[in-house]
Structure 1
Amino acid sequence: MTVAFIFPGQGSQAIGMGKALFDAFAASRKIFEEVDEALGEKLSTLMFEGDPAQLQLTANAQPALMAVSLAALRALESEAGAVLARDVKFVAGHSLGEYSALAAAGALKIADAARLLRLRGKAMQAAVPVGAGAMAALIGADPELAAKIAGEATAASGVLCEVANDNGGGQIVVSGARQAVELAIEIAKENGVKRAMLLPVSAPFHCALMRPAADAMREALAATEIQPPAVDLVANVTAAPTRDPDEIRQLLVAQVCGAVRWRECMGFMHRQGVELFVEIGAGKVLAGLVKRTAEGARSLNVGVPSDVESFKLTA
C-alpha cells in the first residue's frame, strides 16, 4: 500500500492535545521536553492544562501543533514499528504543518522547527494590526469563482483580498484587509455561494499583507540548517514534490504570503498512487478532506494512543 503522511495546520489546537501521548509513550514525552527546552518555557503545560485563549495565540498554537504531530510520529515509530523513509512515499503539511512534515522527514531539527514556528507565529501576528485584516470561508465555491470574487472585492474596496487556501471539496478561504474580505462575503452571496462567513482568526494569513512576516522568515531560514528530507515533500505553494534544501527554504518563505494549494497537493499524491493518507497530529480536519480531494483513497488520523493501535491493524 502506498502511503502519505500529512500534518495539520492551525485550527486543530485544543487544550489537552498530546497529553495522552505524553502519558503513554516515552518517545512522545521526549518530543514535548525537547520543544519546551528549545523555547525556554513549558509550552507542554499550556497545551495540557492551560488557558485556551493563550493556546489560540498564533505564536503558541504553531509550535504546539508541531509538537503533537512529532510526538504522534514517534509513537508510531516506537510502538508500531513505522519507518517513514521505508513506509511513506510523500509528506505534506497544511501551512504550519509543512514544518511538521519537514521535521518528521528529518529535514529540520525539531528544536529548530519549534523556534522557527514561534518566530513565524509572532511575525504573522505583528504584520497587520489586530482588526485590520480578516479571513473568510467560501463554502461551495470553486477556485475560479473564488478568485473572481476576491478580485472584485479588491477592485471595489481599493484594498487587498486574495485566495489564501484551496482546501478542496468546495472549501476556499480568502484573506486580506477586513473591508475587502467583508465585501467578498457579500459578493459571494450574490454569486450563489452556499455559505460565506468570517473566520475567527487573529490575522489575514497567506496573503500579500504578510510580507513583513515573510521577510522575517527569510532571514531566520537563511540561518537554519535544512537537510534533504527522507522522502519527497509536496509543497503548499507549488503542489509539487521536492527534496532540495535551497528550494525548500525558498518555498517556506513564499508560503507565508502564498496560497495553500491543498486540493492540488492531495490530487498530485493520489495520482502518484497514494492509497492511504495518514494525518499525524491533533484533530481530524485533513483526514476528513481526503474523500473530497482524493476520491477512492483511505484516511486515518493518529493523535492519541488508541490511534497507534488502529495504525498497527491497518499496516
Structure 2
Amino acid sequence: MKHAYVFPGQGAQFTGMGKNLYDNNPKAKELFEKANEILGFRISDILFTGTEEDLKQTKVTQPAVFLHSIIAFLCAEPAAKPDMVAGHSLGEFSALVANGTLTFEDALRLVFIRATAMQKACEKQPSTMAAVLGLEDAKVEEICAAVSEETGEIVVAANYNCPGQLVISGTVKGIEIACERMKAAGAKRALVLPVGGAFHSPLMAPAKEELKAAIEQTTFSTPSCPVYQNVVAKAVSEPAAIKQNLIDQLTGAVRWTQSVQAMVADGATRFTEAGPGKVLQGLIGKIQKDAVVSGIS
C-alpha cells in the first residue's frame, strides 16, 4: 500500500490560484514572496489577479503552475510523506522538490529558464499540438511516422495521457495533415490545441541546450523516494540519471500512462495530486480504475 504524489503541468492554471494559501498560511506567503524575489517580478500578483492572457504566456504559466503545486504540497497538513512521486511534463520539477532532489529555489530557477527557452523556441518556428481521442497508441504513432516520412514535416506522439487519449506535436502543416488522417482512421476527435508551440518534439531542441547548461550547474541530491520520470516511465533514484531524463524530456514524449502503470506495478494504491485542477486525478482514474485518487490545492 504505497502513496504516490503527482504534480500537474502547463494547462492547469487559472486566475486566483494560490491566493487562499497566500492569505491563510504564513509559510505559503513566505514562499510566494521568495519566488517574487528570485524571479525579479511579482508573479504572485499575476497568479492572484492577472488575466487569462497574462497567465497563458509560457514564461509565466510554467513558474505559476510549479509554485502553486509545490507550495500546496509543502504546506499540506499533516506534512506529506510520499513513497513515490511523478509529474506531468513541467510537473516533474515539482516532484523533484517533493522528494528532496532539488531545493525550492533551484527548481524555480530551472523552471523559469526552461519556460523562457521554450518560449524562444516557439517563436523561432510556428508549431503546435493536437489531441487525438479514441485511437490505439500504435495507430497514432504509425500515422505520425507516415506523415513525417512522406511530407518532411515533423509530427510525433508527445503525451501519452491515458488509453485512447494522446497528444501529438509538430509543425503546423504536419499537425493539420496528421489530424485529417487520424479522423480518417477512426479517431473520435483530432483537435488542434491552443498552445504556443510543439512541446515534447524535436522542435524544442534549441531550448534543450539552454536547459542542459543550467541543469549541469545545479546540485541534484539523492532523493528520499523514487521519481517516475516521463521519458523512461520507471522509478529513478540516481541524481545523474534524473538530470539526463529531465533534459531529454524537452524533446521526448511524456509517457504518463506508462508511468502510472509502473507506479501501480510497484505498489501504489493511493494517488494525491498537488496543484491546480484535477486533470491528473481524471487520467489516473482512467488508467487504474481501482486506485484511490485525491487532490491538494
TM-score, L = length of structure 2: 0.97
Q: How does 1:1-315 map to 2 (within 5 A)?
A: 1-76=1-76, 80-84=77-81, 88-129=82-123, 132-303=126-297
Please report how far the alpha carbon of residue 131 of structure 1 lies from its aligned counterpart in structure 2 after TM superposition: 6.7
CA distance in structure 2 between the partners assigned to 1:235 and 1:160 by the alignment: 24
Q: What is the distance in 2 between the residues matched to 1:83 and 1:266?
A: 19
Equivalent pair of 1:130/1:203 in contact (CA under 8 Å): no
Residue 51 of structure 1, CA deviation:
2.4
Amino acid at match of 1:141: L
Query: Contact conserved, 1:211 with 1:256, CA < 8 A, in 2?
Result: yes
The answer to whether the 8 Å contact 1:130/1:202 transfers is no
Kept in 2: contact 1:149–1:188 (CA 8 A) = yes
For residue 169 of structure 1, report the CA deviation from its aligned partner.
Answer: 3.0
- Structure 1 CA distance, aligned partners of 2:176 and 2:106? 37
Contact 1:31 1:70 in 2 (8 A): no
Over the residues paired in the alignment, what is the CA RMSD in angstroms?
1.2
Structure 2 residue ranges without an equivalent (≥5): none
Does structure 2 conserve the Cα–Cα contact (< 8 Å) formed by 1:35 and 1:110?
A: no
Preserved CA contact (<8 Å) 2:74 2:80: no
The CA distance in 1 between the partners of 2:53 and 2:25, in whole Å, is 28
Contact 2:229 2:235 in 1 (8 A): yes
For each residue in 1:122-177, what CA deviation from the matched residue of structure 2 results, as whole angstroms up to 9, or x when unmatched? 11121143671010000112210110111122123211100100001311000011
- For structure 1, the residue ranges without an aligned partner over 5 or more in a row are 304-315
Q: Distance in 2 between matches of 1:166 and 1:274?
A: 20
1:263-305 CA distance string (max 9 Å, x none): 00000111112111100011100011111112210110110xx
Partner SS, residue 257 of structure 1: coil
Identity of aligned residues (%): 38
* Structure 2 match to 1:306: none
Question: Using the alignment, how far apart are the partners of 2:276 and 2:145 within structure 1?
Answer: 34
User: How far apart, in 2, do the equivalents of 1:301 and 1:67 lie?
Assistant: 16
Q: Distance in 2 between matches of 1:295 and 1:111?
A: 36
Contact kept? 2:122, 2:196, Cα under 8 Å: no
8 Å contact from structure 1 (residues 168, 289) kept in 2: yes
| Partner AA of 1:252 in structure 2 | L
